Amino acid sequence: MTKSRIAPFLASLALLGTLFVVLPGLGADEKRDKGGKDSLYRPLGLFTEVLSLVRGNYVEKVEVKPLLAGAFSGMTEAMDPFSEYVPPEKMAAFEAVRAAREKADYVDSGLVLARRSGYPVVVTAVPGSPSALAGIETDDLVEKVGGVSARNLGLWEVEAALSGKPGGRANVLVVRESKPSRRTFEIVRTSWTPSLPSAESVSGELVVKVPAFGAGTADALVGILAPLDRSKALVLDLRGNAFGSWDEAARSAALFGPPGPIGELKGRKIAAKSWRAEPGQRVHQGGLVLLVDSGTGGPAELFAAALRESAAKELGIDVAAALKRDEKKGEQAFEDQSPPAPAPSLDRKKLRVRVVGEPTFGMGLTQEVVRLASGGALRITVGKVRTAAGRALSPRGLEPDDRVFHVQPEEGAEGKPPDPFLERALKVVAELPASPAAAS
C-alpha cells in the first residue's frame, strides 16, 4: 500500500471522525445515556485503533497530519457533495476569498460545483456567466484548473481560481462523456447578471425558459404571463437552473399554484423558515410541463416540487400521507433521506403539472462555515429544504414523471442538434387535461 492510498483507506472510516470535529459535546450527552454509550465509544475506538496500526506497521514512517486531513475531507464528502473541510494552513486563503467575494469588482465564474468521486463536478454553468460562455456544461468533471489537478482542491479553491477581478482568465480541463472526452476551456472574467425568463413559440406551444431564480425572476414571469390566456398550457424549461434564492423561487411558484404552503427550511441548529402562496398571487391556471435535467437544483427543485404537489392535491391525493408511509419510524427529520413515495395507482396523465426530463441534482440545503478549535473550518450543511408535504429535496432530487435519456449527436453532424427533452415536453403539453378555468 502506497502513501497515496492510505488517506482513502482512512477516509473510509472518516465519518466516525464527525464526532471529533462537528459534535464535540455529544460525548458527554452519550455518556449520561447508558443506552447510547456503546454506540459512541466503540466506533471511536476502532478509528483510533486503525490509525495506530497504520502508524506502527506501515513500511515507512507516516505523518499523522496529512492522513487526518484526508480522513476529514473524506468525512465531509460522505455527508454530502457540498460540505468540505478547510485545514488550518489554508484558512488565511479561505478567508481572503470570502472577503474578496464581497467587493464590487469581484466577478464570479458562474459555476455551481459539487464533488463526485473526489473531483469537482459541474452542477450547472449559470446561463450568461463566464463559465457558460466558455462552453462548460452540466456534469463536466473538473480535472485540472490552471494546470493543477483538482483532485485535492476544495470546491472553494476551484471557485477562487476561476473567479476574481474583471479581465482575468483561467483555463479549465474537464472530462465529458462525449468525444473528445477531455476538453480545455478558457474562462474570461466579465461582469454579468443572471438571465431573466424569456419566452418563445415552438411548434405552436409557448416555451418559457427560466435560467435561474435570481432577483426579478417572478416579476419577469408576471410580464410574460400577463397578456396570455390564464388557462393556456405552457412548457417551463428549468434545465440547468441551479442558481438563485429560495424566496424568489417561492414567489414564482405562487404565480402558478393555489394559496397555501410551498415549503420550509429546517435544521437542528438554525431558525426554521417557511414559504407560502397568498391569495391573489396566482396569475396562471393552465397546465404545465416542467422540463428538468441533472443540472436542475436548489430553488428550481422547490419550484417544481411545489407545483407538482399542488397538482396532485387537486386530484384529492394526500401527498403527505404517501410520503409518511415510506419513512422509517423514529428517523429524525433532519436525517431523513427517503425517496419520494408515489401515490398508489396514480394516473399521472390526469395531473395538470407533469415533470419531464432527468432526475434533478438534489440541492435542497443551506450551509454555514463553522470554525474549529484547530484553526481550520467546516463548510457544512446546517439545514434542509422540504416541500409542503414533507418531501426532502436533498440528497435525492426529483424523479420525472416522463423520463428522457440523453442522445449524443453524431460526431461531425451539421446543423442544430436534436433536443429530445423539448420534443418530449411538446408531446406531453398536448396531452395535459383541460384546466378548471378552461373547463368552466
Q: Are 244 and 217 contacting, i.e. CB atoms less than 8 angstroms apart?
A: yes
For 176-297, where are the E strands, in sequence order?
182-188, 198-202, 205-209, 234-237, 260-266, 273-277, 288-292
pLDDT category of residue 182 using cuts at 50, 70 and 90: very high
Q: Residue 57's pLDDT is what?
A: 85
The yes-or-no verdict on residue 27 having pLDDT over 70 is no
The yes-or-no verdict on residue 20 having pLDDT over 50 is no
Give mean pLDDT, residues 53-72. Answer: 79
The number of beta carbons lying within 10 Å of the beta carbon of residue 190 is 12
The yes-or-no verdict on residue 126 having pLDDT over 80 is yes
> What pTM value is reported for the model?
0.83
The yes-or-no verdict on residue 1 having pLDDT over 90 is no
337-366: pLDDT as tens digits: 444 444 344 567 778 999 999 999 999 999
Q: Are 384 and 267 contacting, i.e. CB atoms less than 8 angstroms apart?
A: yes
Report the alpha-carbon distance of residue 241 to residue 160 in Å, rounded: 22
End-to-end CA distance of the chain: 73
The set of cell numbers assigned to 309 is 404537489
Report the alpha-carbon distance of residue 287 to residue 266 in Å, rounded: 31
Class level of CATH domain 104-188: mainly beta
pLDDT category of residue 152 using cuts at 50, 70 and 90: confident
For 221-316, where are the E strands, in sequence order?
234-237, 260-266, 273-277, 288-292
The yes-or-no verdict on residue 434 having pLDDT over 60 is yes
Q: Residue 440's pLDDT is what?
A: 36
Instruction: Identify the three-state secondary structure at position 237.
Output: strand
Q: Are 307 and 288 contacting, i.e. CB atoms less than 8 angstroms apart?
A: yes
**Domain 205-439, architecture per CATH:** Alpha-Beta Complex (3.90)
Of 163, 170, 167, 171, the residue nearest 190 (C-alpha): 167
The yes-or-no verdict on residue 169 having pLDDT over 80 is yes
The number of beta carbons lying within 10 Å of the beta carbon of residue 374 is 12
The yes-or-no verdict on residue 69 having pLDDT over 90 is no
Q: Residue 409's pLDDT is what?
A: 62
377-416: pLDDT as tens digits: 999 999 999 999 999 999 889 999 999 987 766 655 566 7
Q: Residue 97 to residues 103, 106, 159, 182: CA-CA distances in angstroms?
A: 10, 10, 9, 29
Quote the mean pLDDT of the chain: 84
The set of cell numbers assigned to 128 is 450568461
pLDDT category of residue 134 using cuts at 50, 70 and 90: very high
Give mean pLDDT, residues 75-104. Answer: 92
The four Cα atoms 196, 197, 199, 205 give a dihedral, to 10 degrees, of 170
Cis link prior to 166 (omega < 30° from 0)?
no
pLDDT category of residue 219 using cuts at 50, 70 and 90: very high
Q: Residue 435 to residues 9, 177, 285: CA-CA distances in angstroms?
A: 57, 41, 6
Sequence ranges of the domains in the chain: 3-79, 104-188, 205-439
Helices (H), 33-125: 37-57, 64-79, 91-100
Q: Residue 327's pLDDT is what?
A: 54
296-332: pLDDT as tens digits: 999 999 999 999 999 988 888 777 776 666 554 434 4
Give mean pLDDT, residues 177-186. Answer: 90
The number of beta carbons lying within 10 Å of the beta carbon of residue 326 is 12
The yes-or-no verdict on residue 66 having pLDDT over 70 is yes
The yes-or-no verdict on residue 246 having pLDDT over 80 is yes
Q: Residue 320's pLDDT is what?
A: 73
368 forms beta bridges with 380
Which element (helix H / strand E) includes 86? strand 84-86
Ranked by mean pLDDT, the top range of 53-62, 180-189, 331-340 is: 180-189
Q: Residue 418's pLDDT is what?
A: 87
Q: Are 124 and 112 contacting, i.e. CB atoms less than 8 angstroms apart?
A: yes
Cα 304 versus chain centre, distance: 14
